[in-house]
Amino acid sequence: MTQLLFQDALLNCYASEMKKYCMEKNIPFKSLLIVDNDTRHLPFIGDPHSNIKVVFLPPNTTSLIQPMDQGVTAAFKAYYLGRTFAPAIATTEKDTEKTLVQFWRDNNIYDSSRTLLGIGMMSQEVYKWYLEEDIHEVHP
């Protein structure tokens, strides 16, 4: 997401949907939008709309209020490292003359793309597993 895309989504999607929602519920059109402190969310100074107040979270606090992200990220990193280094370790153990540096030099775009494809499929599995197993901590 770019700054321009964020501002466009905020003004043309979020604002119109909030206005419609408030009209349906017969409540005043006033909204507080809390966003993380990502530089892509900072395209403007002040409030972009007269009825929408935008508040930014302090830096490095998003993971504190979204604890599931911490677990998903940790699990993904563990799977990523395993998926990335397993072939390297297997190759260097099988071929004692081949060093880790030589393995990475011999690694080609095809090998890397297969690893990335596996990581993409794996990330879906990690997220699904994490939601199924650890959602109980958040919602028993």
Provide the residue type at 97 as one letter.
E
Instruction: State the virtual CA torsion across 118, 138, 140, 33 in degrees, nearest 10.
Output: -110
pLDDT in the model for residue 138: 47
Q: What residues in the chain have per-residue pLDDT under 70?
A: 1, 39-46, 63, 67-70, 112-140
For residues 40 and 6, the answer to whether their CB atoms sit within 8 Å is: yes
Domains in the chain: boundaries: 3-62, 66-138
pLDDT in the model for residue 50: 86
pLDDT in the model for residue 139: 46
Summarize pLDDT for 67-102 with one digit per residue, the tens: 666 677 777 777 777 777 888 888 888 877 888 888
